[in-house]
Homo-oligomer: A and B are copies of this chain.
Amino acid sequence: MNKKIPLVTVPRISLYYRALLESRHKDYISSEEIAYLTGFNSAQVRKDLAYFGQFGTPGKGYKVESLKKALLSILGTDRIWNVALVGVGNLGSALLSYKGFEEQGFKIVAAFDKDMRKIGKVIRQVKIQDIKDLEDTIHKKNIKIVILAIPAKHVQAIVDRLIKGGIKAILNFAPIRPKIPSDIHILNIDLSIELERLAYFLNKLR
């Protein structure tokens, strides 16, 4: 009971949820089937789910509809999260236009840049604001998550401002890992590092 949940369980829950979306037609689904659809092991599926409660019926499996609701509620995606984007360059613009976010309940409600030529422009109904309005808008729009798509050299300063402004969750695309207090959650998506992992693998082949 009440064990500590491994960090890696959470992204798997997201994948299980997606597998359930594909299984709309059936009433019950077994851990074996979820495992097949997601590429994990059925014991892992059962254990991951069991961290959060008893969702299954022995002999039958998991009721698709109710498990789906349960997972949504675990992930916190049973509601809309307001998100801000900081940095409307190439990558930032692409993220602003990315439809996948809204589908999963993440709504980019504000975008910031410091380039005067961009400020005032509207992309996907979001008006690009001056970065100086950052803290103010975070409060007014009840923003809880920030996506950072700015050059590495500005990351630490912006992160410091975000934290002062009350933000606790950051998705950072810059190739740098800012120093943060332990109560802040940051996920770094570092595209070059991913390519380097692939290069390492290819390099090893001969």
Q: Which residues on A are within 8 Å of B, measured CB to CB?
A: 10-11, 13-15, 18, 38-39, 74-77, 81, 83, 90-91, 93-95, 97-98, 100-101, 103-106, 144-145, 168-171, 175, 177, 179, 185, 187, 189-205
Distance between A152 CB and nearest chain B CB, rounded to angstroms: 9
Q: Which residue of B lies closest to A170 (CB)?
A: B198
- Which 3 residue pairs spanning A and B have beta carbons closest together? A76-B203, A94-B94, A169-B198
Q: Which residue of B lies closest to A177 (CB)?
A: B39
Tell me if A's interface is mostly helix, strand, loop or mixed: helix
A11: B residues at CB distance < 8 A: 190, 193, 196-197
A81: B residues at CB distance < 8 A: 195, 199, 202
Q: Which residue of B lies closest to A39 (CB)?
A: B177
Query: Is the CB–CB distance between A187 and B197 below 8 Å?
Result: yes
Interface residue from B90, B94, B103 paired with A192 (Cβ < 8 Å): B103
Query: Is the CB–CB distance between A145 and B202 below 8 Å?
Result: yes
Query: Is the CB–CB distance between B15 and A76 below 8 Å?
Result: no
Query: Is the CB–CB distance between B191 and A98 below 8 Å?
Result: yes
Query: Is the CB–CB distance between B106 and A195 below 8 Å?
Result: yes
A75 CA / B81 CA spacing, docked (Å): 38
A10 CA / B203 CA spacing, docked (Å): 12
Query: Is the CB–CB distance between B192 and A104 below 8 Å?
Result: yes
Query: Is the CB–CB distance between A194 and B187 below 8 Å?
Result: yes
Query: Is the CB–CB distance between A189 and B195 below 8 Å?
Result: no
Query: Is the CB–CB distance between A90 and B100 below 8 Å?
Result: no
Question: Would A171 and B198 be within 8 Å (CB), given that A93-B90, A94-B90, A177-B39 are in contact?
Answer: yes
Query: Is the CB–CB distance between B98 and A175 below 8 Å?
Result: no
Query: Is the CB–CB distance between A192 and B14 below 8 Å?
Result: yes
Most buried by B among A18, A171, A195: A195
A189: B residues at CB distance < 8 A: 189, 191, 194
Interface residue from B98, B103, B169, B203 paired with A90 (Cβ < 8 Å): B98
Given contacts A11-B196, A169-B198, A189-B191, 6 further A-B contacts (CB under 8 A): A10-B200, A15-B193, A76-B200, A76-B204, A103-B192, A104-B192
